[in-house]
Structure 1
Amino acid sequence: MISSCPICGNQVLTAELERHANSHFEDDEVQRDMELAQLAAVTELSTSVMDVPEPSTRPFPNGDSVSQGASSSIIRGSSPYGNALDEQISCLVGAQIRSEIQQIQGGVMNLLRSCLESEGGSSTSIISGYVDHHQSLSSEDKGWGCGWRNIQMLSSHLLRQRPETRQVLFGGCGFVPDIPSLQRWLEIAWDKGFDTVGASHFDNKIYGVKKWIGTSECVTILRSFGLRARIVDFDSTESSDLQSKSGKRVCGPMDKYLIKTNSFPTSSSGELSQEDAESMRGQQVLVDWVWNYFKSKCSDTLNNSRNVTISDKTPLYFQHHGHSRTIVGIQKQKGNRGSQDRYNLLVLDPGHRTADLERSLTIKKGWQKLVKRGVHTLRKPQYQLCYVDPGIANSEEMAELKTIDSILIRF
């Protein structure tokens, strides 16, 4: 049901009315009211073309087109989802709240680039462009919200780096919403028919629920806006009941099919045991994939730096049992005297405090422990990565994107 806010007059979901009204009395009420007013203007503009009889298409800079019915500007009468769902979407566009983050002076990726450059030597690093760090908060999502925080980090990159994405993501609002707003967007995606398997796992209800989510939910949200989000599965187990004959499998929340195993043992001498060595050879497949992923589309080396390159690829949502993080790059260190090259994943962890990350990167001390993850740390039997290909899907492709599948890689 829809109700009018007694403070600003905006139309909001009845279930969110109290929370929305209370938000006007917070310290940043002036800024938030201005944002809501701007969003209301955008929503009014988008609904002013209600008389268009059929879905139209509009070009984007990359040459693709997007169905107007699949975009965030809902046109009543041309949307395939029905008036009730259209009303929910229009309401959410105006009522969603910006996720609050601690701003890092200079940007976290610029600080990371500076730290990597200062190492010099024989190392080579490839990193994503702009990314904001979103930390889990004890008052909001500590212990269960890492998946939502990684969606926020990935979204911060998409909104800044890809103009076509900015026009459709989260109703074209131009900012990263908070977790409750993201939960509403996921429910809307389910109502549109995206990821029916995952939706049934949550009984089609996620708003206000403190449950872990994974790559499937990230992909579902992004695909519902027409983004070409993909999942890659890395699996060391012998078999999987959910694997299909085509080599792909439908993904629900990861804990539905993950096989839990103990950590690989290490020898008391500090050297790698045989099991450890075999594990590292297996996990190297994942690291090699990440290196090739970021390397496949790189911009010119930034500021004539010899050892840091900026990739045009999106960061990677990095999921394993119990936690998820965001991979923002990878570093390769040349081995000495013919020894094998060593790789470090470069990650932003929502479990870390933004202030600690900023401090360590600024003074170039202790940042390695927060950001770098070597192959030897990858001890889980299964991992999932999520990334976003360029462009916006047309209406025909949108129908295909509703089924969430993954590419399966054995190691």
Structure 2
Amino acid sequence: MTSDMERLECPMCDFTVPMTDEYFLQLHFEQAHTTDSPFVIQDDPESQPPLLPQSPSSKRKHVADTPSSDEEENTVACPEPQCGEVVLLSDYNDHLDYHAAESLSFDEATGKYHSHHSSATMKDPAIARRPDTGLSKDAFLEHNFDTDLPEALKRNESHGRRIKKHSHRKRSNTNSSEKSTLSRSITTFNPFAKLDKTVKPPSKSARLGVSVARTTVRPASANISQKSELGPHAWEDRMPRWLHDQLDAGPKITVVNRIGRDGRLIKQEQVQNETPGIIPILAQLSALDHSVKNAYYCHPSTLHIGKTPKEGGFCGYRNIQMLLSYIQGAKAQGHEEFPGRTPGILKLQDLIERAWDKGINTIGRVQTGGIRDTRKYIGTPEAQAFCLSSEINCAVETFCDSKDHSIEAHESLLAAIERYFLQAAVSDGSNVYKTLLPPIYLQQPGHSLTIVGFERRRDGQCNLVVFDPMYNTSPAMLKLIGRKNIKTARPEVLHAYRRGARQLKKHASFEILMLTATPPLFPAWDV
């Protein structure tokens, strides 16, 4: 009998074969641990889209418009038909909560808030007044939301059970081994490196998800890694035509009539996915919240820019647009390059590709295979390349859990954001500091946001105040915009913009990109 020492082991599981049966080990690996094996029986490829991106050798580069969930990756497609996002299972419940917050409205007759979202409905607003303080996640949901899964998931019971199982496990355990990390860190880039004899250009194998040789037994995580780094459409050559046309046309613009302060009729444009004037409202709401000790806000010209219907995961571009809205509104460094409307996603893709043409963060082109007219995820490296190419001064900072886990990444992040705002905080007698600082691009695993403020609570806890491009502005917030004399605290409205330790501690790393030019000094808050 062959001894244990004379057996070959599968690198992915406990399967072993005798030394003389190497072929059977290869066959096992192809069948059990690869997604594009010729030995695996698959459904008709024309009738069913792949669950994972295809390898670069595949002839079929177009990926399905609505990606399926992938248990191995801990991601799931949002069931909301207008969303199109793929989110981490650990963030799934929060994702549905913020969708519910999108439809939050205030009923003047009853004095109660209502959410008309399909996945959650508000119950008792009296209990919902402090969603970001003492109540645990489960207690807050139990008191405020119906947490039954949406009908879109109920139609697939096994899928729903899988989501519940994973999301419960993630919520109940935040050990560093289970935390998500950044797939494409800015630390691998050096935009100021000169191509001399000591610096070699990246090899072709730097393309994310590509194995060095097809004949080599490769980890099953190769395609999974590609998907987590560049998204569910990592291998497509071009986005669908309907989406290209939608992005090319830009958001819908309507003209409404409003009464100005002088009583005259004013024609005002409203852009479908852009909301101005939110930051002054958030500042008032922070001041009215008695649980907030101090709050800080960035320049009020920053727009909240969300998605358009079914566009999916373009959060990196939307956050770049929010930085640009500050630059345009404040007439900050670089505004001459961007007159008129905020440049669209297709234009931003061209500008990032142009930055690569100039030699800035060029490994990004190698890793992604190019981003023009695709739905591949971008991150801090591309945001930095865009800024440097446009001669906009910026700085990048990274935060990771310490090796001994004594300091967690989210703690370092919160401390850095507080320091950022403190540098420009000038007291006017209020506990809310209204600065002229730029907003901050925040990259967390799988998603990016724009930081527009910071709150320190009386119990010592802290919140980031963010604009999240995944979601649009709620009717409740739209009703408040323009008001300068809000008298009643509205924590239900603030909830959509707050990100505290509970949400942030799920991640082991973060990156921020800050605009570093001196902010223009004029009374923006009084305009």
Letter in 2 for 1:128: C
Residue pair 1:133, 1:350 contacting (<8 A) in 2 also: yes
Match of 2:282 among 112, 115, 119: 112
Give CA-to-partner distance per residue, 1:351-388, whole Å, 9 cap, x none.
Answer: 11223572486683512321111123212011011111
Letter in 1 for 2:384: V
Change (3 A) 1:104 1:146: closer
Residue pair 1:99, 1:179 contacting (<8 A) in 2 also: no
SS in 2 for 1:201: helix
Equivalent positions of 1:7-22 (< 5 A) are none
Letter in 1 for 2:315: C
SS in 2 for 1:186: helix
Look up the match of 2:360: 194
Residue pair 1:227, 1:391 contacting (<8 A) in 2 also: no
SS in 2 for 1:384: strand
Give CA-to-partner distance per residue, 1:211-247, whole Å, 9 cap, x none.
Answer: 11111111111110111122111112649xxxxxxxx
1:354 and 2:524 correspond: no
SS in 2 for 1:366: helix
Change (3 A) 1:310 1:322: same
Letter in 1 for 2:473: T
Match of 2:342 among 155, 176, 183: 176
1:370 and 2:496 correspond: yes
1:166 and 2:335 correspond: yes
Look up the match of 1:219: 384
- Shift in Å at residue 285 of structure 1? 1.8
Residue pair 2:296, 2:435 contacting (<8 A) in 1 also: yes
Look up the match of 1:295: 422
Q: Where is the helix percentage greater, Structure 1 or Structure 2?
A: 1
Note the residue ranges of structure 1 that are not aligned, 5 or more in a row: 1-17, 31-97, 240-274, 336-340, 393-411
Match of 1:315 among 439, 449, 454: 439
Letter in 1 for 2:507: K
Residue pair 1:99, 1:176 contacting (<8 A) in 2 also: no
Of residues 357-366 and 345-354 in structure 1, the stretch that sits farther from structure 2 once superposed is 357-366
How many angstroms apart in 2 are the aligned matches of 1:214 and 1:380? Answer: 16
Aligned length: 254
How many angstroms apart in 2 are the aligned matches of 1:347 and 1:221? Answer: 21
1:325 and 2:449 correspond: yes
Change (3 A) 1:358 1:232: same
How many angstroms apart in 1 are the aligned matches of 2:310 and 2:303? Answer: 20
Letter in 1 for 2:413: L
Give CA-to-partner distance per residue, 1:122-156, whole Å, 9 cap, x none.
Answer: 5110110121011122333x2x2111111111111
1:123 and 2:293 correspond: yes
Change (3 A) 1:103 1:201: closer
Letter in 2 for 1:159: Q
How many angstroms apart in 1 are the aligned matches of 2:387 and 2:437? Answer: 16
TM-score, L = length of structure 1:
0.55
Residue pair 2:253, 2:270 contacting (<8 A) in 1 also: no
- Shift in Å at residue 100 of structure 1? 4.4
- What is the RMSD of the two structures over their aligned residues, measured on CA atoms? 3.4
1:145 and 2:311 correspond: no
Give CA-to-partner distance per residue, 1:284-309, whole Å, 9 cap, x none.
Answer: 221111100111123x44xx451111
Match of 1:389 among 484, 501, 516: 516
Letter in 2 for 1:154: L
Change (3 A) 1:27 1:156: closer
Bigger radius of gyration? 2
Give CA-to-partner distance per residue, 1:241-261, whole Å, 9 cap, x none.
Answer: xxxxxxxxxxxxxxxxxxxxx
Letter in 1 for 2:293: S
Identity of aligned residues (%): 24
Letter in 2 for 1:309: Y
TM-score, L = length of structure 2:
0.44
Change (3 A) 1:350 1:357: farther
Change (3 A) 1:188 1:329: same
Equivalent positions of 1:232-247 (< 5 A) are 232-236=397-401, 238=403
How many angstroms apart in 2 are the aligned matches of 1:126 and 1:374? Answer: 15
- Shift in Å at residue 29 of structure 1? 11
SS in 2 for 1:351: coil
How many angstroms apart in 2 are the aligned matches of 1:210 and 1:112? Answer: 32
Equivalent positions of 1:36-55 (< 5 A) are none
Look up the match of 1:344: 463
Change (3 A) 1:361 1:369: farther
SS in 2 for 1:131: coil
How many angstroms apart in 2 are the aligned matches of 1:343 and 1:139? Answer: 33
Match of 1:230 among 383, 395, 399: 395
SS in 2 for 1:175: coil
How many angstroms apart in 1 are the aligned matches of 2:430 and 2:463? Answer: 18
- Shift in Å at residue 344 of structure 1? 0.9
Look up the match of 1:395: none
Change (3 A) 1:29 1:135: closer
Give CA-to-partner distance per residue, 1:314-342, whole Å, 9 cap, x none.
Answer: 1111111111111111011233xxxxx22
How many angstroms apart in 1 are the aligned matches of 2:306 and 2:402? Answer: 32
Change (3 A) 1:305 1:358: farther
Structure 1 runs of 4+ off > 3 angstroms? 26-30, 98-105, 359-363
